[in-house]
Amino acid sequence: MKRFDVITLFPEMFSALTRNGVTGRGESRGIYDLVCWNPREFTDDLRRTVDDRPYGGGAGMILTPSPLVKAIHTAKCRQLSTGAESSTTIYLSPQGRMLTQELVEEMSNIDGLILLSGRYEGIDERVIEESVDLEISIGDYVLSGGELPAMVLLDAIIRLLPGVVNHPESVVDESHSSGMLEYPQYTRPEVFNGRRVPEVLMSGHHDEIKRWRQEQSVLRTRLRRPDLLKAEESSQ
Protein backbone atom coordinates (compact mmCIF):
# COMPACT_ATOMS: atom_id res chain seq x y z
CA MET A 1 0.00 0.00 0.00
CA LYS A 2 1.19 3.50 -0.85
CA ARG A 3 1.01 6.05 1.93
CA PHE A 4 0.30 9.72 1.28
CA ASP A 5 0.24 12.39 3.98
CA VAL A 6 -0.64 15.99 3.21
CA ILE A 7 0.14 19.01 5.38
CA THR A 8 -2.63 21.50 4.62
CA LEU A 9 -4.80 24.19 6.18
CA PHE A 10 -7.71 22.90 4.09
CA PRO A 11 -7.87 19.09 4.47
CA GLU A 12 -11.47 18.98 3.25
CA MET A 13 -10.30 19.80 -0.28
CA PHE A 14 -8.71 16.37 -0.63
CA SER A 15 -12.02 14.54 -0.37
CA ALA A 16 -12.29 15.31 -4.09
CA LEU A 17 -9.59 12.68 -4.60
CA THR A 18 -10.75 10.01 -2.19
CA ARG A 19 -14.45 10.16 -3.08
CA ASN A 20 -14.44 10.44 -6.86
CA GLY A 21 -13.34 8.71 -10.03
CA VAL A 22 -10.22 6.63 -10.50
CA THR A 23 -8.50 8.00 -7.40
CA GLY A 24 -11.56 7.28 -5.27
CA ARG A 25 -11.59 3.72 -6.61
CA GLY A 26 -7.94 3.28 -5.67
CA GLU A 27 -8.61 4.40 -2.11
CA SER A 28 -11.65 2.15 -1.73
CA ARG A 29 -9.62 -0.82 -3.01
CA GLY A 30 -6.99 -0.24 -0.33
CA ILE A 31 -4.25 0.50 -2.88
CA TYR A 32 -3.27 3.67 -1.06
CA ASP A 33 -4.23 5.66 2.00
CA LEU A 34 -4.26 9.42 2.38
CA VAL A 35 -4.12 11.28 5.67
CA CYS A 36 -4.28 15.07 6.01
CA TRP A 37 -2.68 17.02 8.83
CA ASN A 38 -3.73 20.57 9.65
CA PRO A 39 -0.81 22.67 10.98
CA ARG A 40 -3.25 24.41 13.33
CA GLU A 41 -3.39 21.16 15.32
CA PHE A 42 0.31 21.55 16.08
CA THR A 43 0.25 25.09 17.51
CA ASP A 44 0.77 26.08 21.15
CA ASP A 45 -1.52 29.13 21.44
CA LEU A 46 -5.28 29.33 21.91
CA ARG A 47 -5.75 31.13 18.59
CA ARG A 48 -3.92 28.31 16.78
CA THR A 49 -1.75 30.81 14.92
CA VAL A 50 0.18 29.43 11.95
CA ASP A 51 1.37 32.61 10.22
CA ASP A 52 3.27 35.81 10.94
CA ARG A 53 4.72 38.88 9.21
CA PRO A 54 7.92 38.39 7.20
CA TYR A 55 11.22 39.67 8.57
CA GLY A 56 12.51 42.53 6.45
CA GLY A 57 9.03 43.72 5.60
CA GLY A 58 6.83 43.01 2.62
CA ALA A 59 3.24 42.20 1.81
CA GLY A 60 1.38 39.18 3.11
CA MET A 61 2.07 36.61 5.79
CA ILE A 62 4.43 33.63 6.07
CA LEU A 63 3.61 30.23 7.53
CA THR A 64 5.65 29.78 10.70
CA PRO A 65 8.10 26.87 10.95
CA SER A 66 7.20 25.07 14.18
CA PRO A 67 3.69 23.77 13.30
CA LEU A 68 4.86 22.65 9.84
CA VAL A 69 7.91 20.79 11.12
CA LYS A 70 5.86 19.09 13.85
CA ALA A 71 3.22 18.05 11.32
CA ILE A 72 5.84 16.66 8.93
CA HIS A 73 7.47 14.71 11.76
CA THR A 74 4.12 13.24 12.82
CA ALA A 75 3.31 12.26 9.24
CA LYS A 76 6.69 10.63 8.78
CA CYS A 77 6.30 8.64 12.00
CA ARG A 78 2.88 7.45 10.85
CA GLN A 79 4.23 6.26 7.52
CA LEU A 80 7.20 4.42 8.99
CA SER A 81 5.11 2.85 11.75
CA THR A 82 2.61 1.49 9.22
CA GLY A 83 5.21 -0.22 7.06
CA ALA A 84 6.63 2.36 4.67
CA GLU A 85 10.27 1.56 3.87
CA SER A 86 11.05 5.18 3.03
CA SER A 87 9.40 8.57 3.27
CA THR A 88 9.99 11.63 1.08
CA THR A 89 8.75 15.13 1.86
CA ILE A 90 7.76 17.32 -1.08
CA TYR A 91 6.99 21.02 -0.97
CA LEU A 92 4.72 22.21 -3.78
CA SER A 93 6.40 25.41 -4.94
CA PRO A 94 6.65 27.52 -8.13
CA GLN A 95 10.42 27.41 -7.54
CA GLY A 96 10.55 23.61 -7.66
CA ARG A 97 11.45 21.03 -10.27
CA MET A 98 8.89 21.02 -13.09
CA LEU A 99 6.40 18.17 -12.89
CA THR A 100 6.70 15.76 -15.84
CA GLN A 101 5.47 12.25 -16.50
CA GLU A 102 9.00 11.01 -15.86
CA LEU A 103 8.99 12.63 -12.42
CA VAL A 104 5.51 11.24 -11.69
CA GLU A 105 6.74 7.73 -12.47
CA GLU A 106 9.75 8.32 -10.23
CA MET A 107 7.52 9.45 -7.35
CA SER A 108 5.17 6.48 -7.83
CA ASN A 109 7.98 4.14 -6.79
CA ILE A 110 8.37 5.72 -3.35
CA ASP A 111 6.55 4.00 -0.47
CA GLY A 112 5.61 7.13 1.46
CA LEU A 113 5.13 10.70 0.27
CA ILE A 114 4.49 13.72 2.47
CA LEU A 115 3.17 16.70 0.54
CA LEU A 116 3.51 20.15 2.09
CA SER A 117 0.96 22.67 0.84
CA GLY A 118 1.94 26.29 1.36
CA ARG A 119 -0.38 29.28 1.71
CA TYR A 120 -0.21 33.07 1.82
CA GLU A 121 3.23 34.32 0.72
CA GLY A 122 4.93 31.00 1.39
CA ILE A 123 6.63 29.17 4.24
CA ASP A 124 9.64 29.90 6.42
CA GLU A 125 12.78 28.89 4.50
CA ARG A 126 14.09 26.93 7.46
CA VAL A 127 11.31 24.39 7.00
CA ILE A 128 12.63 23.68 3.52
CA GLU A 129 16.20 23.46 4.74
CA GLU A 130 15.34 21.14 7.63
CA SER A 131 12.46 18.96 6.50
CA VAL A 132 11.90 19.08 2.71
CA ASP A 133 13.56 16.60 0.35
CA LEU A 134 12.25 17.95 -2.96
CA GLU A 135 10.35 20.95 -4.32
CA ILE A 136 7.98 20.39 -7.24
CA SER A 137 6.19 22.92 -9.46
CA ILE A 138 3.24 22.19 -11.75
CA GLY A 139 3.88 25.24 -13.92
CA ASP A 140 5.20 28.77 -14.23
CA TYR A 141 2.28 30.51 -12.56
CA VAL A 142 1.16 31.30 -9.04
CA LEU A 143 -1.83 29.83 -7.20
CA SER A 144 -3.35 30.81 -3.87
CA GLY A 145 -2.01 27.67 -2.20
CA GLY A 146 -0.34 24.32 -2.64
CA GLU A 147 -3.46 22.19 -2.33
CA LEU A 148 -4.31 22.08 -6.04
CA PRO A 149 -0.72 21.26 -7.07
CA ALA A 150 -0.66 18.53 -4.41
CA MET A 151 -3.89 17.08 -5.79
CA VAL A 152 -2.50 17.20 -9.34
CA LEU A 153 0.59 15.31 -8.24
CA LEU A 154 -1.43 12.75 -6.26
CA ASP A 155 -3.84 12.15 -9.13
CA ALA A 156 -0.98 11.60 -11.57
CA ILE A 157 0.74 9.16 -9.20
CA ILE A 158 -2.32 7.22 -8.02
CA ARG A 159 -3.52 6.34 -11.51
CA LEU A 160 -0.16 4.63 -12.15
CA LEU A 161 -0.49 2.32 -9.14
CA PRO A 162 -1.29 -1.31 -10.02
CA GLY A 163 -4.98 -2.08 -9.65
CA VAL A 164 -6.24 1.51 -9.82
CA VAL A 165 -6.97 1.72 -13.56
CA ASN A 166 -9.10 -1.13 -14.88
CA HIS A 167 -7.22 -1.25 -18.19
CA PRO A 168 -3.49 -0.69 -17.45
CA GLU A 169 -2.61 -0.49 -21.15
CA SER A 170 -4.55 2.78 -21.39
CA VAL A 171 -2.01 4.43 -19.08
CA VAL A 172 0.89 3.34 -21.30
CA ASP A 173 -0.59 4.86 -24.48
CA GLU A 174 -1.38 8.29 -23.08
CA SER A 175 0.26 11.60 -23.90
CA HIS A 176 3.76 12.00 -22.43
CA SER A 177 4.00 8.36 -21.35
CA SER A 178 6.06 7.66 -24.48
CA GLY A 179 7.62 11.11 -24.60
CA MET A 180 5.14 12.27 -27.25
CA LEU A 181 1.52 13.34 -27.46
CA GLU A 182 -1.19 10.74 -27.84
CA TYR A 183 -2.73 9.97 -31.23
CA PRO A 184 -6.34 11.10 -32.01
CA GLN A 185 -9.12 8.95 -30.58
CA TYR A 186 -12.59 8.22 -32.04
CA THR A 187 -15.76 6.39 -31.02
CA ARG A 188 -19.32 6.01 -32.31
CA PRO A 189 -21.01 7.36 -34.40
CA GLU A 190 -19.00 6.66 -37.53
CA VAL A 191 -20.00 10.06 -38.97
CA PHE A 192 -20.55 13.13 -36.81
CA ASN A 193 -21.45 16.51 -38.33
CA GLY A 194 -19.98 15.38 -41.62
CA ARG A 195 -16.69 14.24 -40.08
CA ARG A 196 -15.89 10.58 -40.62
CA VAL A 197 -13.75 8.24 -38.52
CA PRO A 198 -10.50 7.45 -40.40
CA GLU A 199 -10.98 4.29 -42.46
CA VAL A 200 -7.84 2.63 -41.10
CA LEU A 201 -9.35 2.48 -37.59
CA MET A 202 -12.28 0.49 -38.92
CA SER A 203 -10.19 -1.83 -41.10
CA GLY A 204 -9.42 -4.44 -38.45
CA HIS A 205 -5.76 -4.52 -39.55
CA HIS A 206 -3.95 -4.16 -36.23
CA ASP A 207 -0.50 -3.57 -37.71
CA GLU A 208 -1.81 -0.79 -39.94
CA ILE A 209 -3.71 0.75 -37.05
CA LYS A 210 -0.59 0.67 -34.89
CA ARG A 211 1.46 2.28 -37.67
CA TRP A 212 -1.19 4.99 -38.22
CA ARG A 213 -1.31 5.79 -34.52
CA GLN A 214 2.47 6.07 -34.29
CA GLU A 215 2.54 8.40 -37.30
CA GLN A 216 -0.26 10.54 -35.88
CA SER A 217 1.50 10.73 -32.52
CA VAL A 218 4.67 12.04 -34.15
CA LEU A 219 2.73 14.46 -36.35
CA ARG A 220 0.67 15.83 -33.49
CA THR A 221 3.77 16.26 -31.33
CA ARG A 222 5.61 18.05 -34.16
CA LEU A 223 2.70 20.46 -34.65
CA ARG A 224 1.74 21.10 -31.02
CA ARG A 225 4.81 20.37 -28.89
CA PRO A 226 7.95 20.39 -31.09
CA ASP A 227 9.99 20.93 -27.94
CA LEU A 228 9.30 17.32 -26.94
CA LEU A 229 10.82 16.02 -30.17
CA LYS A 230 13.85 18.27 -29.75
CA ALA A 231 14.34 16.98 -26.23
CA GLU A 232 14.13 13.38 -27.49
CA GLU A 233 16.64 14.06 -30.27
CA SER A 234 19.10 15.78 -27.94
CA SER A 235 19.02 12.84 -25.53
CA GLN A 236 20.01 10.36 -28.25
- How is the chain split into domains, by residue range? 2-158, 178-235
- Residue 231 is predicted with a pLDDT of 72
Q: Are 135 and 97 in contact (CB under 8 A)?
A: yes
Distance of CA 21 to the CA centre of its chain: 15
Separation between Cα atoms, residue 57 and residue 60, nearest integer Å = 9
The H-assigned helical ranges of 58-205 are 65-81, 101-107, 125-131, 147-158, 169-172
Pairing assessment for the beta strands 87-98 and 112-117 based on DSSP bridges: parallel
178-235: CATH class: mainly alpha
Q: 105-128: string of b/e by CB count within 10 Å (b at 16+)?
A: eebbebbbbbbbbbbbebbbeebb
Tell whether pTM > 0.75: yes
- Residue 21 is predicted with a pLDDT of 96
CATH architecture of 2-158: 3-Layer(aba) Sandwich (3.40)
Question: In the chain, which stretches have pLDDT less than 50?
Answer: none
